[in-house]
Copies of this chain bind each other. A is one copy, B any other.
């Protein structure tokens, strides 16, 4: 079993109020690489510190790593447009950092990296892969992709109060800058992701299409960003079985998720790791809906559930937080 984390960036994250994936803007640029390092090594290596949201929620990569320590699955990171070098090993598919979607052509690398990721996905020898993403600002670009494809669902947020009005405004500006109306990129996934998306969505959807084409089962581990990835796959004309794995916290607090999963014909796996009972404000924040998803967390929890160790993930995550805070703390 292999979890593939696609890590990248979009300048859309720098818009005030959009993202909480990092305590401040200077650290936010390191978040995707730090997540890949945490999954690979159980610690940061080149990144300056463990990513934490402004409200103190630790990155979901720690949960994915805890599940990995318990289950023993392999991890591969793919460079989905990283802005700074990471100490994690990454596969290269030609993705470049994405620009602000209010620019006319923010992700010119999208069509090429979609195809390179598709070729890579076709060659994977695995029977099944779980895909994760880490890209600050990614729910806004996911919303952009959904609107460009003509889908009506909404997206969640890494912030306690989802700045949905701001996101809709940014997406409206992005569509206008690209000369697109909602739905104009229906059945044209590469156009949607190039004009109002981010490089990670291009790679995740290309990888999914390629893996499915060669008979590898794919589980998308995540929330509304993975809904956007699945929409791109369906708009590419791929009807093969595909599933989404997320947490109970996301599934219960984002009403559109179940609707979208059904309309996109996605199998849905929902796992509850019991973070509500945990004596750690940051981690229990997930159960309170403060942080949401990312770094393949939902997929990793599904694997932990299959292996019968879901109830051990919280304790293992807390041990990691304690250890990392001790030697990387302020």
Chain A: residues with CB nearer than 8 A to chain B? Answer: 40-43, 45-46, 72, 74, 76-78, 85, 87-92, 120, 123-126
| With A89-B90, A91-B87, A91-B89: A45-B76 Cβ-Cβ less than 8 Å | no
> Which residue of B42, B89, B125, B126 is within 8 Å of A76 (Cβ)?
B89
Q: How far is the CA of A46 from the CA of B122 in the complex (A)?
A: 10
* A125 touching B89, Cβ below 8 Å: no
Residues in B whose Cβ lies below 8 Å from that of A126 = 41
> Which residue of B45, B72, B120 is within 8 Å of A45 (Cβ)?
B120
Q: How far is the CA of A126 from the CA of B45 in the complex (A)?
A: 11
* B120 touching A46, Cβ below 8 Å: yes
Q: How far is the CA of A84 from the CA of B200 in the complex (A)?
A: 23
| With A46-B120, A72-B72, A120-B46: A125-B41 Cβ-Cβ less than 8 Å | yes
Q: How far is the CA of A87 from the CA of B123 in the complex (A)?
A: 9
CB distance from A41 to the nearest CB of B (A): 5
Residues in B whose Cβ lies below 8 Å from that of A120 = 45-46, 87
Closest chain B residue to A74, Cβ basis: B40
> Which residue of B45, B46, B123 is within 8 Å of A46 (Cβ)?
B123
Residues in B whose Cβ lies below 8 Å from that of A74 = 40
Residues in B whose Cβ lies below 8 Å from that of A46 = 120, 123
* A89 touching B77, Cβ below 8 Å: yes
* B85 touching A89, Cβ below 8 Å: no
Residues in B whose Cβ lies below 8 Å from that of A72 = 72
CB distance from A286 to the nearest CB of B (A): 25
* A90 touching B87, Cβ below 8 Å: no
Closest chain B residue to A119, Cβ basis: B46
Q: Which residue, A43, A45, A89, has most C-beta atoms of chain B within 10 A?
A: A89
Q: How far is the CA of A91 from the CA of B88 in the complex (A)?
A: 6
Closest chain B residue to A120, Cβ basis: B87
Residues in B whose Cβ lies below 8 Å from that of A123 = 45-46, 87
Closest chain B residue to A78, Cβ basis: B89
**Would you give 19 A-B contacts (Cβ < 8 Å), ordered by A?**
A40-B74, A41-B124, A42-B125, A43-B125, A45-B120, A45-B123, A45-B124, A45-B125, A46-B123, A72-B72, A76-B89, A77-B89, A85-B92, A87-B91, A87-B123, A88-B91, A89-B91, A90-B91, A90-B92
Q: How far is the CA of A95 from the CA of B301 in the complex (A)?
A: 37
CB distance from A131 to the nearest CB of B (A): 14
Residues in B whose Cβ lies below 8 Å from that of A78 = 89
Q: How far is the CA of A41 from the CA of B216 in the complex (A)?
A: 14
Q: How far is the CA of A46 from the CA of B210 in the complex (A)?
A: 14
Q: How far is the CA of A65 from the CA of B92 in the complex (A)?
A: 22
Q: How far is the CA of A90 from the CA of B85 in the complex (A)?
A: 12
Residues in B whose Cβ lies below 8 Å from that of A40 = 74, 76
CB distance from A292 to the nearest CB of B (A): 26
Q: How far is the CA of A123 from the CA of B44 in the complex (A)?
A: 8
Q: Which residue, A88, A90, A91, has most C-beta atoms of chain B within 10 A?
A: A91
Q: Which A-B residue pairs are the 9 nearest by beta carbons?
A: A89-B89, A43-B125, A45-B123, A89-B91, A76-B89, A89-B90, A41-B125, A77-B89, A87-B120
Q: How far is the CA of A42 from the CA of B1 in the complex (A)?
A: 12
